[in-house]
Amino acid sequence: MSPQKRTARALEAMEEAVRVASNTTAALWEEQETKLEQLLSCCQDSHRSLRVFRDDADLSLKKTEGMLVNIVLKDEQRSEVQLSHFKQQKKFLEKILESPCPCDNTVVGVKFLKFFKEKIENIDKVNYIECRKSTMKVTTPFVVHPEQK
């Protein structure tokens, strides 16, 4: 075999190797490009899902805050109604004490009047406790008993 034929065959073998390497490299690039596109699509889907989750969480938080404010307002209204009721009770008891009764001079009558006078004094001392629950004020009425003075 002549040296020229050997060189020609070696060149053909190198050309084939370069062709195979080129095809393999192109296939790898295409596969890598496909994987990167899939990864990008997955990241975009995750980003959208997180945005929806965040928006839903914000909406849920706003609804919860609205319900808490509503509860506090109802509690304050109930407290005002109770205070009004206590004032009405006081006026009613004062009218009872002002009216003459034949039993006032009896031992039971005197104890009864003393008991009612103490109750009226306690109704005078209705106070509000301010509690902080999260960032809202909640007020609750209570009667101060003589033992708590």
Q: For residue range 8-45, what is the model confidence (pLDDT) as tens digits?
A: 898 899 999 999 998 899 999 999 999 999 999 999 99
Question: What is the Cα–Cα distance from 138 to 123, expressed in whole angstroms?
Answer: 21
- Whole-prediction pTM: 0.44
Is the pLDDT higher at 56 or at 103? Answer: 56
- Answer for the pair 141, 130: CB distance below 8 angstroms, yes or no: no
Taking alpha carbons only, the member of 140, 101, 146, 98 closest to residue 124 is: 146
| Residue 92, both tokens | 């009613």
Residue 93: is it exposed, middle or buried by C-beta count within 10 angstroms (0-12/13-18/19+)? middle
- Answer for the pair 144, 122: CB distance below 8 angstroms, yes or no: yes
- Residue 142 bridge partners (DSSP): 127
How would residue 87 be classed by pLDDT, with cut points 50, 70 and 90? confident
